[in-house]
Chains A and B, each alone.
Chain A
Amino acid sequence: MGAEDVKRQSPNVYRMKLLGATVVPVESGSRTLKDALNEALRDWVTHVENTFYIIGTVAGPHPYPMMVRDFQSVIGEECLTQMPAMHGRQPDAVVACVGGGSNAMGIFYPYIEHAGTRLIGVEAAGEGLESGKHSASLQRGAPGVLHGNRTYILQDANGQITETHSVSAGLDYPGVGPEHAYLKDIGRAEYVGVTDSEALEAFHYLCRTEGIIPALESSHAIAYAMKLARTMPSTAAILVNLSGRGDKDIGTVADLSQADFYCRPSCRGQSVKGGAEQVIWIQP
């Protein structure tokens, strides 16, 4: 795991350690997800005889994007069956956050052939799509090759991968699964951006209204669903993939909201990439 993410996702790291895993912080490059992928691939080629490479997103060399999509699509298949049963029909739109794109691909995949359902992927716009500090590969990237797949990549004029920014570690990735690039190019899915502060606002909103603490990643999808709902008739149905729990993120959220959090020794703000002063959260 990138050393930056070890800090940001410390509850997940501790959970993995409790279960017996060894978590190796990666100090190279930008010390986030892409660098962890590089290091995992390096470790794999070095210990190929006794090591399996696994990845939790729909990126990487074939057949990984396909395998992860197929596993993740259980959620989409369930929605396809349960939406008519619970709601009487299929949704008008499916909304999911996109970093590498696994949860979005999982819920989109069975809906691709349902032309009446809009597929909307929400990328991390970080401090704004114009700020340069975001992770919106599909909206601001250019075609390229990274980690063994051709897709949209955030890169500079020399083809070097640029550093990304998002309040959520899971979206902080400069590439995106190649099948999302395809869905974008053929116009089947739309990709939009939600900023750090919009995601934080949605995080708090869902906590207060539904009693659900969403992951910061999924909070991006919720934020966009709330925007989208205002443009649709009240009879319309939006299906949001609440892809993760926010327990792991409460330290980050407490830091950004200037709240006390068990006197956490991580130093308020410092544990968050970008720093607290750069993210403005407006109390709903």
Chain B
Amino acid sequence: MSRIAPTLAALAAQGRKALIPYVMAGHPGLGVTVPLMHAMVSAGANIIELGIPFSDPMADGPVIQKAGEAALRLGVGTSDVLAMVREFRAQDRTTPVVLMGYANPVECYNLQHGADGFVKDAAAAGVDGVLIVDYPPEECEAFAATLRAHDLDLIFLLAPTSTDARMDLVARVASGYVYYVSLKGVTGAGHLDTAAVEAMLPRIRQHVSVPVGVGFGIRDAQTAQAIGRVADAVVIGSRLIQLLESSPQGQEIAEVESFLRNVRQALDA
């Protein structure tokens, strides 16, 4: 078992919601990511999603696209991302880390490091879960089995358009939590409807037994609070990346930390 289920179970026992920030590995600079991860934990993050940059991020809006392009310009590859997790893990042995990315960098890593190379090396680095946007459940049973063998969770996205049959399919391979995409669109979009999310969550829970996180379009503490009333976890990504971009140099980490502290307070209120 990875650190994810115990972490979420402990929060649930306290009646608290998980705060899951997403940042892009290597953005806005190579040396920023690991200190940023520690700062987010101290601000109240419970699980960290770390993006693996990809040249063609089909599910991402312009904010995360640009962050990925910036990381790629710095030469960040999959092994660099794993190295960042290893460095984070040297000081933090409890906070779960989920890698979020696309299939091709993973497949390419496996071509070079052996069939299960990515999963083995991710497990050794201290990764807890993996979310591969373009691995549909019917195409990744072998990948899911390898992850399970290494005690890693496979996180799946569900969308407002997911059918009951689709949710059942996801439920068969998903572990850790499922990530409900709160709107029809890409990451960082601005048209989140909290009432629609509230209406969807009970339907998801009929099919999926693992906790449900909600993300895509959560931009402030109030929205996080509203979502937290119905979901088990709140995921925030694009907003953090915008903060990292807009903050004066040297202030980036402090800005994100203070933003997340506010969200944490709103979630715990």
Contacts and interface: CB of A to CB of B under 8 A. Distances in A.
A48 B161 contact: yes
- The interface size bin for chain A is 20 to 34
A12 interface: no
Nearest to A162: B55
A148 B56 CA distance: 12
Interface in A128-163: 142-148, 153, 155, 157-161
Interface in A46-65: 46-49
B104 A159 contact: yes
A279 interface: no
A10 interface: no
A215 B59 CA distance: 33
A180 interface: no
Interface stretch (B11-19, B107-115, B192-200): B107-115
A42 B186 CA distance: 6
Dominant secondary structure of chain A at its interface with chain B: mixed
A274 B105 CA distance: 28
A45 B134 contact: no
B184 A161 contact: no
A155 B102 CA distance: 14
Given A142-B111, A157-B112, A159-B109, A45 B59 contact: yes
Nearest to B76: A158
Contacts of B78: 158-159
Contacts of B107: 143-145, 159
A28 B55 CA distance: 10
A204 interface: no
A41 interface: yes
Interface string B25-65: 00000000000000000000000000001111111011001
Contacts of A29: 55-56
Interface of A: 28-29, 34-35, 38, 41-42, 45-49, 142-148, 153, 155, 157-161
Given A42-B61, A159-B54, 16 more contacts: A28-B65, A38-B56, A41-B58, A42-B58, A42-B186, A45-B59, A47-B184, A48-B161, A144-B107, A146-B104, A157-B77, A159-B78, A159-B107, A159-B108, A160-B105, A161-B104
24 contacts: A28-B62, A28-B65, A35-B56, A38-B57, A41-B58, A42-B58, A42-B61, A45-B186, A46-B189, A143-B107, A144-B104, A145-B107, A146-B56, A146-B104, A147-B56, A155-B104, A157-B77, A157-B112, A158-B77, A158-B105, A158-B108, A159-B104, A160-B55, A160-B105
